[in-house]
Chains A and B, each alone.
Chain A
Amino acid sequence: DAEITQSPRHKITETGRQVTLACHQTWNHNNMFWYRQDLGHGLRLIHYSYGVHDTNKGEVSDGYSVSRSNTEDLPLTLESAASSQTSVYFCASSESQSPRPGQYFGPGTRLTVT
């Protein structure tokens, strides 16, 4: 079955380190999204991509970067991790020409920055 996976599922890192969270989807969707979820804020969009080599900033993009070199993957990089980036991170994908419009989510990565 097609799916969307995230790795690692849990990570603890230290302030100042570079961290990369992986997102891989096998639906062949054009569009991919990264969100963070914090208590009291719901889900907030970090970065998104509408195709290979396309990336766009969301509402909370400072301190994060993404690159899209193929259809299946959109890794999220924290250049220099900060305690304020402790959160649960979700990846999602959607397809422009789909009988099932809407976004479909991975299981999430819980990141703790100490």
Chain B
Amino acid sequence: GIQVEQSPPDLILQEGANSTLRCNFSDSVNNLQWFHQNPWGQLINLFYIPSGTKQNGRLSATTVATERYSLLYISSSQTTDSGVYFCAVGLSGGYQKVTFGTGTKLQVIP
């Protein structure tokens, strides 16, 4: 099956700093999603981004499908950004099953 690797596994940031999280995948995909799991366990869909670039406030994501990676940018980080960020990929369209990476655990300290 498709392999998904995320880096770094852990990240500690000072509030206000910027960061880049990376997701590498082993096969061509038609479906790539980024999720944030907050410290209470809730999973929030951040982006559906099989290719190109999207922005939502302080977060943006870029997927270069031909090179099999995606990047999640967090600017001006806040303590509420803490949690685990997951990348999930699939071979089919945006509504179908995906494979999750093991995540990047982010801690933003005041």
Contact = CB atoms under 8 A, between A and B. Distances in A.
A105 B31 CA distance: 17
Interface string B28-55: 0001010100000111110010000000
Interface string B65-82: 000000000000000000
A100 to B, nearest CB: 8
Nearest to A98: B95
A31 interface: yes
Interface residues of B, number: 23
Which residue, B35, B41, B97, has most C-beta atoms of chain A within 10 A? Answer: B97
A44 B100 contact: yes
Interface string A91-107: 01011101011111101
Nearest to B6: A42
B103 A42 contact: yes
B7 interface: no
Interface string B4-31: 0000000000000000000000000001
Given A88-B41, A105-B43, A107-B42, A45 B102 contact: no
A41 B102 contact: yes
Given A44-B100, A58-B97, A101 B43 contact: no
Contacts of A44: 100
Which residue, A103, A107, A108, has most C-beta atoms of chain B within 10 A? Answer: A103
A1 interface: no
Contacts of B97: 33, 45, 48, 56, 58
B93 A42 contact: no
Interface of B: 1, 31, 33, 35, 41-45, 48, 86, 88, 93-103
